[in-house]
């Protein structure tokens, strides 16, 4: 059945980012937050206090996101983010606006379950389909009119619910795990801030190994089965799967390596992801093997206070590796080292569990949607 017989698309309201704040009244879903902050579902009641908002004067029912509406991103600077969408849970239909560069999808047919449609939008089948409609050179876009003419397989409601129950159970577990990881992050950072010790230069504590760039011919977005000279890795700059030539001397991270970005998402810290990292990413190597746990939370504290703000001690800092020399770390005791390692290892195990859950989900999406 054609999608235009099941749903409609409408563009979100354009409001400049500097006119938004968590201190305003009306929740507002910006396209950047859509693919950076949320997974496949957004429960407004749960995130109401933290989501950005706009003044009452901007409210227009034309852009209202109601319960089980889907919001999709059809504008991006890379192919991978196009088609990213979330289903919104807003049981009381509180004021909530679809924002800049988003499209609001409202279902007007009783023959499809909203969650089923949302999972279809997440499938490789749909994402490959919309690639043929991409326009633009630096900023890529897809027109809703092209998407609405896509033909979707529509099983009966009972089978749709069966699919939603299976994949939804994986998403629920992933979301639950993410909340645990978030709590551990806050716990570790709070503990680190309370350590009553002197500071030392960060370079006395760790070394930084810069990633390497590779020319475009050494990368592939999909592997040719006949080409055994390429291996699949995770590009930590874009957090997407890619393939690189086996002949390249590109650093590849292990799960417990701590990496920090100085290009793109400046100050973003990753761990638990195996893959190559480019010149904008640095691996942080503790000079003493046991210091990896406290290393992670010291970076979280320092990047929040210094790199992200762009200055320290009156010295202006642009982003980049030069920022490293300004970082400080608190001296610590053996008990502190053991504590931070323990909670880091626990968080890492949950992250690796999520990775397996995501791989299983991908298999189910392929099974049900092709």
What is the maximum span of the chain, computed from C-alpha positions, in angstroms? 66
Q: Note the pLDDT of residue 335.
A: 84
Whether pLDDT at 114 is above 90: yes
Task: Enumerate the β-bridge partners of residue 232.
Answer: 243
CATH homologous superfamily, domain 197-335:
DNA methylase specificity domains (3.90.220.20)
Do 8 and 108 touch, CB atoms closer than 8 A? yes
pTM above 0.75, yes or no: yes
Q: In angstroms, rounded to a whole number, what is the distance separating the alpha carbons of residues 166 and 124?
A: 18
Structure tokens at 296: 């992670």
Instruction: Give per-residue pLDDT as tens, 241-296.
Output: 666 666 666 777 888 888 887 665 566 788 887 777 777 788 888 888 788 888 88
Do 209 and 282 touch, CB atoms closer than 8 A? yes
Instruction: Give per-residue pLDDT as tens, 344-358.
Output: 999 999 999 998 999
Closest listed residue to residue 13, CA positions, set 50, 57, 60, 51: 60
Instruction: Give per-residue pLDDT as tens, 3-48.
Output: 999 999 999 999 988 899 999 999 999 888 887 788 889 999 999 9
Instruction: Give per-residue pLDDT as tens, 196-239.
Output: 777 777 777 888 888 776 555 555 555 454 455 666 665 555 55
Q: Note the pLDDT of residue 110.
A: 96
CATH 3.90.220.20 placement within the chain = 3-154, 197-335
Q: In angstroms, rounded to a whole number, what is the distance separating the alpha carbons of residues 90 and 47?
A: 11
Q: In this structure, are strands 41-43 and 70-73 parallel, antiparallel, or unpaired?
A: unpaired
Q: Note the pLDDT of residue 106.
A: 97
Mean per-residue pLDDT over the chain, rounded: 83
The dihedral of CA 269, 252, 354, 72: what is its sign?
Answer: positive
Whether pLDDT at 157 is above 50: yes
Which positions ≥6 away from 256 have C-beta within 8 Å? 271, 272, 292, 344, 345, 348
Q: Note the pLDDT of residue 208.
A: 80
The phi-psi region of residue 318 (left if phi > 0; otherwise alpha if psi is between -120 and 50; otherwise beta) is beta
Q: Note the pLDDT of residue 238.
A: 56
Task: Enumerate the β-bridge partners of residue 64.
Answer: 97
Instruction: Give per-residue pLDDT as tens, 42-85.
Output: 999 999 999 999 999 999 999 999 999 999 999 887 777 789 99
Instruction: Give per-residue pLDDT as tens, 161-180.
Output: 999 999 999 999 999 999 99
Q: How far is CA 102 from the centre of its chain?
A: 17
Q: How far is CA 355 from the centre of its chain?
A: 13
Domain range 3-154, its CATH number among 2.60.40.2580, 3.90.220.20, 3.30.1340.10, 3.40.50.10800 = 3.90.220.20
């Amino acid at each position: 059945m054609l999608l235009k017989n099941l749903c409609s698309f409408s563009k979100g309201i354009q409001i400049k980012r500097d006119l938004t704040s968590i201190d305003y009244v009306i929740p507002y879903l910006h396209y950047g937050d859509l693919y950076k902050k949320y997974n496949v579902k957004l429960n407004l009641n749960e995130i109401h206090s933290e989501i950005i908002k706009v003044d009452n004067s901007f409210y227009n029912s034309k852009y209202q996101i109601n319960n089980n509406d889907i919001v999709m991103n059809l504008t991006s600077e890379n192919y991978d983010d196009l088609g990213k969408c979330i289903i919104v849970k807003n049981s009381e239909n509180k004021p909530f606006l679809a924002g800049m560069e988003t499209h609001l999808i409202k279902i007007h047919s009783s023959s499809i379950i909203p969650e089923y449609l949302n999972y279809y939008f997440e499938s490789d089948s749909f994402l490959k389909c919309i690639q043929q409609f991409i326009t633009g050179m630096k900023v890529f876009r897809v027109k809703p009119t092209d998407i609405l003419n896509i033909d979707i397989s529509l099983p009966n409601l009972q089978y749709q619910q069966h699919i939603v129950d299976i994949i939804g159970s994986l998403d629920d577990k992933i979301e639950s795990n993410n909340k645990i990881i978030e709590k551990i992050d806050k716990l570790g950072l709070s503990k680190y801030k309370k350590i009553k010790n002197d500071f030392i230069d960060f370079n006395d504590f760790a070394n930084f190994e810069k990633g390497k760039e590779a020319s475009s011919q050494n990368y592939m977005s999909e592997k040719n089965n006949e080409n055994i000279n390429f291996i699949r890795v995770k590009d930590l700059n874009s957090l997407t799967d890619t393939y690189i030539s086996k002949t390249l001397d590109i650093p590849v991270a292990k799960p417990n390596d701590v990496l920090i970005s100085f290009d793109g998402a400046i100050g973003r810290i990753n761990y638990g992801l195996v893959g190559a990292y480019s010149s904008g990413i640095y691996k942080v190597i503790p000079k003493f093997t046991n210091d990896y746990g406290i290393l992670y939370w010291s970076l979280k504290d320092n990047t929040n206070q210094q790199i992200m703000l762009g200055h320290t001690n009156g010295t202006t800092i642009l982003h980049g590796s030069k920022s490293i020399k300004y970082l400080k770390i608190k001296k610590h005791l053996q008990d502190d080292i053991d504590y931070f390692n323990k909670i880091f290892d626990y968080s890492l195990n949950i992250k690796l569990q999520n990775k397996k859950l995501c791989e299983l989900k991908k298999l189910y999406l392929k099974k049900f949607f092709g």
